[in-house]
Amino acid sequence: MSYEIKVNGRIANVMLVNKNGNSVIVNIDGVEYDVDVVKLEKGNYSILHNNKSYNMELIESGNIRTYEINSFKNLFKAEIIDSETKYFLNRKSSQQEDDEMAIVAPIPGKVVNVLVKPGMKVKKGKTMIILSAMKMESEFKAKKEGVVKEINVNEGQNVEANQVMVVIE
C-alpha cells in the first residue's frame, strides 16, 4: 500500500514493500530502507537502521491521520495522506471562482445517476450526480442555488479525477 506523508511541509511518497516479523522494507521517495521496528508499548517504537537505534513516540493529534512524532530530540508533525484523504480533499476543492460552480470528480469513478438537466433551476443541497468510486457511492450536491449550465457526463460513463461533471451558474 502506498501513502503520501506530509512532514513539516514536505510530502514524501511512502510504500511498504515487505514485512516479515519486525523486519520491514519501506520505500521512501524511491529509496528502499531495511529497518527493524519493535513496538515497545502503545505509541512507542524502537527502530534499528544501519546499526543505529532510534526511539520514536507517535502521538495522535485528535485529527484522523495526523500525528506528532517525538524522536526525543526533535518533534515533527506528520499527516498521512491516503487515497481516502485525497478523495475528500479533492471533493472540498471543487468550487470555482466567478459566479459559476463546477462539480468535479475528485477521483476516477463511474457515474451512477445524473439527476439534473441543462437549464434546470437547483436549490442549495440538491443532489445532482451520484458517482461510484472506491466501492462506495457519493452524492454530489449543489453548493448554491442556481441554474444548471452544463452537464459533461452521462449515466454509466467512467470519469477521470478532476473531470468537470456539472457546471452551475
Q: Which pLDDT value is given to residue 161?
A: 81
Q: Supply the pTM of this predicted model.
A: 0.49
CATH 3.30.700.30 fits 2-81, yes or no: yes
Which residue type occupies 122? V
Q: Which pLDDT value is given to residue 29?
A: 92
Q: Which pLDDT value is given to residue 136?
A: 85
Residue 26 and residue 46: Cα distance in Å, rounded?
16
In CATH, which of 1.20.1560.10, 2.40.50.100, 2.40.110.10, 1.10.3720.10 is domain 93-168? 2.40.50.100
36 or 81, which is more confident: 36
Q: Which pLDDT value is given to residue 90?
A: 62
Confidence of residue 94 (pLDDT cuts 50, 70, 90): very low
CB atoms under 10 Å from CB of 12, counted, come to 12
- Give per-residue pLDDT as tens, 24-69: 999 999 999 999 999 999 889 999 999 999 999 988 877 667 888 8
Q: Which pLDDT value is given to residue 100?
A: 63
The one-character DSSP state at 62 is S
Looking at the DSSP bridge assignments, the partners of residue 52 are: 49
Of 135, 134, 127, 136, which is closest to residue 165 (Cα–Cα)? 127
Q: Which pLDDT value is given to residue 2?
A: 76
Which residue type occupies 21? G
Q: Which pLDDT value is given to residue 67?
A: 86
Residue 121 CA: distances (Å) to CA of 23, 51, 105, 153 = 59, 67, 21, 18
> Which residues neighbour 33 within 8 Å (Cβ) at sequence distance 6 or greater?
25, 26, 27, 49
- Give per-residue pLDDT as tens, 100-146: 688 888 888 899 999 999 999 999 989 999 999 877 888 999 888 99
Q: Hey, what's the cell of 65? A: 491521520
Residue 129 and residue 142: Cα distance in Å, rounded?
9
Q: Which pLDDT value is given to residue 146?
A: 92
82 or 52, which is more confident: 52
What is the three-class DSSP state of 119?
A: coil
Q: Hey, what's the cell of 157? A: 460513463
- CATH 3.30.700.30 in the chain, residues? 2-81
- CATH 2.40.50.100 in the chain, residues? 93-168
What kind and span of H or E run contains 11?
strand 10-20
Confidence of residue 7 (pLDDT cuts 50, 70, 90): confident
